[in-house]
Amino acid sequence: MHVPEEQCSILEQPGRDLRANRQWFAARRAGRAYLGYMRLGYQVIEFLETGALTLPMSEPGRTRILDVQKRTVPFAEVLAEADELQQRLESLVETSPLPDHPHRDAVNRFLADTYPAWWSRRESSTRRR
């Protein structure tokens, strides 16, 4: 849902609809799932603050994560930064402007409408061949 459109190989109408309504999935509880992961910590902070993700990962987090992966950052510094990220995430899980839960009714409605239409369309195109 957050991958730039120009990087999508195939994007059909259900995917466009999901991308247009990605706010249905935005919720603070997503932050709880990623506590303790440094790279994801940067991305979840962005998500909890904005309801969106920048892909590829935005700066300065991207360069920082690459430096950590290349082991050019002292381990003690990585631990301290991971601790800071965790504290920031824990705070955002409580204070983010996102709702507590995804918009389940909208997602369920989308699925209930999309699946039958999609499979009906696929089935009819297979019969025509």
| Cα 83 from Cα 38, distance rounded (Å) | 9
CB 30 within 8 A of CB 44: yes
pLDDT tens readout for residues 41-73: 888 899 999 988 898 898 888 999 999 999 999
| C-alpha dihedral sign at 39, 95, 84, 64 | positive
* pTM exceeding 0.85: no
Please answer whether residues 47 and 39 qualify as being in contact, where contact means their C-beta atoms are separated by less than 8 angstroms.
no
Please report which confidence band the pLDDT of residue 127 belongs to, taking 50, 70 and 90 as the band edges.
low
SS3 40: helix
Which residues lie below 8 Å from residue 57, measured CB to CB, with a gap of 6+?
39, 42, 43, 65
Read off the pLDDT of residues 67-115 as tens digits, 9 standing for 90 and up.
999 999 999 999 999 899 989 999 998 999 999 899 999 999 999 999 8
